[in-house]
Amino acid sequence: MLSERHLEVVLAVVYEYIKTGEPIGSRTISKKFLKDRSAATIRNEMADLEEMEYLYQPHTSAGRIPTPKAYRIYVDAIMRRQRSFPADSDGWMRELRARRRDVEEALGYATRLLGKITNYIGVAALGPASETVLQRVEFVRMGNRTVLILLVLKGGLIHHRTVVLPCDMTQDNLDELSRRVSTVALGRQWKDVRGILQAYVEDALERYADSCRAAIAEMDLILTEQPFQFFTGGTRNVLGMPDFSDLGRLQAMMGLLEEDESIGQLVHGCSAEQGLCVTIGDENPVFQMRDCSIVMASATAGGRRAVVGLIGPVRMDYERSISVLEGILGTLSDNNESEEGGL
Amino acid sequence: MLSERHLEVVLAVVYEYIKTGEPIGSRTISKKFLKDRSAATIRNEMADLEEMEYLYQPHTSAGRIPTPKAYRIYVDAIMRRQRSFPADSDGWMRELRARRRDVEEALGYATRLLGKITNYIGVAALGPASETVLQRVEFVRMGNRTVLILLVLKGGLIHHRTVVLPCDMTQDNLDELSRRVSTVALGRQWKDVRGILQAYVEDALERYADSCRAAIAEMDLILTEQPFQFFTGGTRNVLGMPDFSDLGRLQAMMGLLEEDESIGQLVHGCSAEQGLCVTIGDENPVFQMRDCSIVMASATAGGRRAVVGLIGPVRMDYERSISVLEGILGTLSDNNESEEGGL
DNA sequence: CTTAGCACTCCACAACCGAGAGTGCTAAGA
DNA sequence: TCTTAGCACTCTCGGTTGTGGAGTGCTAAG
């Protein structure tokens, strides 16, 4: 449906428009990209493309601007090619590698890095651990009935939460509780043991059955809800973004970045499929983002599923964005094991 | 140096300018605020005030705009009065109270709340615990020489960090280590014990002296560096801020919000003095903030020193900002103990 | 099918103009 | 001496007009 000739024009327009931000005229294309065709010829083709909704004119006698459909074509073309990581950010990458020990910190750093390198907004989400296996359980008495629950998961993830139990327990009681829980649950999948835990614990602590039940319920909550964790970096760069049609929209979008849920939604789409995925403008599920494009990719870091991405204007430097993201992802992810024998 | 008559004019101009954002003319003042003086009289006084640098005109034949000096006078006047908390935010306050158990979460929520209520930017910093007393110490073996250090401080603060020790230790070794550390350090001020810890620990674990030393050094690092923790909320509201003279400046300012250090600097000034403090425009130590005003106050929450504040444009609704902040601070701070017998 | 030529359209930018707001100054009144 | 009315002056803001340039669509010739 789209001839080779037409395709060439679309790609040229998108490429040039990304670079300049100005509407592109037929003359420019003819001179810079397709020297074997005159401006008039290009003009005819452009008219066709406009009919097909790959290009549009803001007004007669202005050049053409690519539509989302055109960006799509462009991005697909890019993805087929091989890219190389921009070399200029070697020092940063070392920094990032140094932080790999702590996944959360690494992801935070990665988003800030993405922001800095690309001038767009870096986002990341850290999914639940691939296996929910307890490595350590502690209950620490903080006040009358206030107890701190401390869970160390295999892989190094730590959860803690303060809860109020229905009845008072001494630290000795709590130690007994954690001993019992440990006996049953350590080194095993949580989902396999939580059912049988209650009975075994009450065996020794029946006087505190209520509190034990509450504690175990809370543990279950912590371990099964396992929400995504989110990171953003370079938020300031929204300001450098397109003359957003409307300031209100921009504000709405920034609002999203503060609310984890909506990022979750974004991530969700991507985390399903493996590899890199680019969402352009209104392809986006979250309507506040319809003026943005998102480049996302998932990886496994520290044994957990992670999604790292970039949010930028639709008129984004996709080529660069993608290669930067790939570079960071490579440094971050587990299969790039190197140095130190840890774990 | 500033007569009563002049003062009245200054206050009126600031008040009106904050409300409208437009330069204020002599006529407006005469009609709305000082009905017993004619516009011409006010005009003369305004000319005086311009000479004294309390007001200035963007151009001849425009009204007057207050200078930072005038804002200062205005804020000082407000601070002497009593304020009442805006009633419309009762539900939110309940929400906030419900989160008081976890200081970190509460502060995070408070900043978002501040952002939402005022449409400025909420910030908060959580200082080091007032007393560094260990309540629990755990070392968990994560890999060959990788060990997770878990510290629970009195008051409920949890620190954890993963480190690589110089030599391999079994979990039993590590348990012995934590037992020994506990014996010496639990319930006592860290600064009193860290000196004697090493000797006592090596007594039993001399084979691993190196690793023990490394672990204790790391603990010391965690406990003594005790960095401030920072929170921000409502960042999106920068967009609603003044037609910032320069977009670059706005961006620079947003950049600050991502870097903890500089917020630390802001906080530092305030945390010294007790109570509420307002910094207007270029009174600010951080030069990127010279277009903003900051309202900050400190309190004690969860046994830790906390500073909560608002960043807004110089033309900020100080009265409302201050009362909102006071309200939130009241709900947050420890002396407002209520409900539940905890701790 | 391609291309040169040409008339046409439309925007961006500058210049211009009038209305309105607010001032400073002056002179008269208390 | 202080206050006030009156008046001429200044400057911005919004709208209008005009011009130059860029880019198009169409047509006719190669």
Distance from CA of A281 to the nearest CA of B (A): 20
A143 contacts B343? CB cut-off 8 A: yes
> What's the CA A43/C1' D19 distance, rounded, in angstroms?
27
Mean pLDDT for A145-168 is 85
Q: Torsion angle, CA of B163/B164/B165/B168, rounded to 10 degrees?
A: 120
Distance A14 CA to D20 C1' (A): 28
Residue B208, token pair as written in the block: 């691993």
Distance from the Cα of residue A121 to its chain's centroid: 11
Average pLDDT over residues A205-222: 87
- CA distance readout (Å), B138 to A4, A152, B213, B242: 66, 11, 16, 51
8 Å CB contact of A156 and B144: no
At A70, list the tokens.
């055109």
Q: Answer for B119: CB within 7 Å of strand C.
A: no
Q: pLDDT-based confidence at A272, cuts 50/70/90? A: low
Is A243 in the B-facing interface, judged by CB distances under 8 Å? no
How distant is C1' of C23 from CA of B19, in Å?
23
Tell me which residues of chain B have a pLDDT lower than 50. 338-343
Contact A258 B233 (CB under 8 A): yes
Cα B267 from chain centre:
6
Which of A145, A235, A240 is opposite residue B258, by nearest beta carbon?
Answer: A235
Residue A97 has pLDDT above 70, yes or no: yes
**Contact assignment for B136 to A140 by CB distance below 8 Å:** yes
d(Cα A124, Cα A108) in Å, to the nearest integer? 8
d(CA B249, CA B287): 10
Distances, alpha carbon B69 to alpha carbons A45, B13, B54, B209, B249, in Å: 64, 12, 6, 62, 22
Instruction: Identify which has the larger pLDDT, A31 or A197.
Output: A31
- Which residues lie below 8 Å from residue B159, measured CB to CB, with a gap of 6+? B149, B150, B151, B153, B222, B223
Amino acid at B136: R
Percentage of chain A modeled with pLDDT above 90: 40
Among all protein residues, pick the one whose CA is nearest to the C1' atom of C23. B61
Q: Which nucleotide is nearest to A43 (CA to C1')?
A: D24
Task: Sheet with B146-153: list strands edge to edge.
Answer: B134-141, B146-153, B158-164
DSSP helix/strand/coil, B276: strand
pLDDT in tens, A293-328: 999 998 888 778 889 999 999 999 999 999 999 999
Place of tokens 């890219």: A83
Q: How confident is the model at residue A339 (pLDDT cuts 50, 70, 90)?
A: very low
Residue A27, nucleotide of least CA–C1' distance: D23
Show the domains of chain B with their CATH numbers: 4-80 (1.10.10.10), 87-130+228-336 (3.30.450.40), 134-225 (3.30.390)
Using the Cβ of B112 and the Cβ atoms of chain A, whether some distance falls under 8 Å is answered with yes
Question: For residue B11, what is the enclosing H or E element?
Answer: helix B4-20
Q: Which of residues 171-200 of A touch B (CB under 8 A)?
A: none
Q: How many CA atoms lie within 13 A of B80 on its CB side?
A: 5
SS3 call for B162? strand
Those residues with Cβ within 8 angstroms of residue A280's Cβ, 6 or more apart along the chain or in another chain:
A68, A71, A72, A75, A293, A314
Q: Where are the beta strands (DSSP E) in chain B?
A: 55-56, 65-66, 121-129, 134-141, 146-153, 158-164, 229-233, 276-280, 292-301, 304-313
Phi, psi (degrees; rounded to nearest 5) at A100: -65, -20
The separation, in Å, between residue B60 CA and nucleotide D1 C1' comes to: 28
**Given CB atoms, is B148 within the 8 Å cutoff of chain A?**
yes
Contact A276, A296 (CB under 8 A): yes
Name the 3-class secondary structure at B152.
strand
Q: Which nucleotides of C are covered by protein (CB under 7 A)?
A: 2-5, 8-11, 20-26
Task: Check: CB of residue B280 under 8 Å from CB of residue B292.
Answer: no
Q: Report the SS3 class of residue A280.
A: strand
Q: Does the beta carbon of B98 lie under 8 angstroms from any beta carbon of chain A? A: no
State residue B107's pLDDT score. Answer: 93
Report, in angstroms and rounded to the nearest whole number, the Rg of chain A calculated over CA atoms.
26
Contact list, B175 vs chain A (CB under 8 Å): none
Nucleotides of strand D under 7 angstroms from a protein beta carbon? 3-6, 9-12, 21-27
Given a cut of 70, is residue A252 above it in pLDDT? yes
What is the pLDDT, as a whole number, of residue A204? 77
Which residues in chain B have their CB less than 8 angstroms from residue A162's CB? 101-102, 156
pLDDT at A246: 73
